[in-house]
Amino acid sequence: MKKGQIIEGVVKKTTFPNKGRIEAEGKTVTVKNGIPGQRLRCQITKIRGGKAEARVLEVLERSSVECEPFCKHFTECGGCVWQTLSYEEQLRLKAGQVKELLDDAVQAYEYEYVFEAIKGSPRKYEYRNKMEFSFGDAYKDGSLALGMHKKGSFYDIVTVDGCQIVDEDFRKILSGTLAYFQEQGLPYYHKMRHEGYLRHLLVRKAARTGEILADLVTSTQIQADLEGWKERMLSLPLKGKLAGLLHTKNDSLADVIQNDGTEILWGQDFFYEELLGLRFRITPFSFFQTNSLGAEVLYETARSYIGDTKNQTIFDLYSGTGTIAQILAPVAKKVIGVEIVEEAVEAAKENARLNGLSNCEFIAGDVLKMLDSIEERPDFIVLDPPRDGVHPKALKKIVDYGVDRMVYISCKPTSLARDLELLQENGYRMERACCVDMFPWTGNCEVVALLTRCGIGEENADAS
């Protein structure tokens, strides 16, 4: 087998998040988005050791579990992965992938844990409360486009005016914005030349309150009058209610939304969302789960794993805007949240005041450093780290507290599987785990795991 070679094969399995596996010429070949049972024609792109990677040229035979996609953009847009699977089949696939990861992680320690499969999203469609649309063109020197990156492309943009993972208000704001700037003839920001004006459109909408923020992100290379865009947005027949129209300046050379200053064109720069009876103030760049109703399922699951916290001090590490901390605060002695993003910490403090919670403390800083400065010792720890998981040095400090139990909430199961190694080496065992599908039609899901320090069960039994 060599690079550039054309092969044919059947996908035997798909590992997390979307890696199809084909056996050919004694090697395992990985193809993105391969579905078990598909027969594919592929071209080898990389060979390393006994493994190879390939790109799909053609689906020769569909899998018996495949169905027709429901979104007109699916074949072009890179946003969704599993639209040719029924939702029930997606759940089975994700649960199987995560269980395989966790089984492998605990195998060397020879113990049993309870895997509670997967909980689906309350909404399968129109579930997202946040989208970051990009300006660009659909092909080189084409007309202005606004939407998502084309599959496999860093440059081309697909105008997703029919996207089904957001609701109609997102689609109307996207279409209205695109039409307005096409009329104005303003250029998009070219990522290679670092020239142009229009960069992104950030839209956020609360599932419970229906309040909406729309934020136009541009460079400072042109001083455009945005009064017309504001009026166009205010004239849209939306089901929800606009809370604010914003303009964010971003001169970063990277293709990211960076806040170099935000101007309020109309209304305010925040809106409110409600989760599990609590109210949260959300700003354009606040971290908040992108599936509000799914977040309720996630946090209810975590809360059930945590159990009784009366008279306990809880550490909520990587606390974001303090959602978990505030859900636990009414049934705990004190909750201390640590988060590196200062804006998120300020939002958490404001939200705690909004909800009348006086036993929450939020600290801005890196968990690795902040744990050395906190005088209190925790009775329980909740970990909700970013995608890359917990820094090994921070995880060692967390283990050294010696709490009987902790809950790990992971948005990237492979990071959880990696961190389990150090946790298990230091005497913890995974007691229960459950997936929560926060991202239907994509390859991702969240996992909640309950970890117990070895010997706790036996100690409790002796005490009784």
DSSP 242: E
Whether cis (ω within 30° of 0) applies to the bond prior to 392 is: no
Reduced to 3 states (helix: H, G, I; strand: E, B; else coil), residue 308 is coil
* Number of neighbouring beta carbons within 10 Å of residue 98: 26
User: φ, ψ for residue 250 (rounded to 5)?
Assistant: -150, 110
H/E element holding 282?
Answer: strand 278-282
Tell which residue, 129, 79, 88, 118, has the closest CA to residue 293: 129
411 is catalytic: yes
Helices (H) and strands (E) in the chain, counts: 10, 22
Tokens 């429901």 label which residue? 70
Q: Which of 71, 77, 80, 411 is the catalytic position?
A: 411
User: φ, ψ for residue 190 (rounded to 5)?
Assistant: -85, 120
Reduced to 3 states (helix: H, G, I; strand: E, B; else coil), residue 269 is coil
Q: How far apart are CA 294 and CA 429, in angstroms?
A: 27
Q: How far apart are CA 408 and CA 456, in angstroms?
A: 18
Active site residues: 411
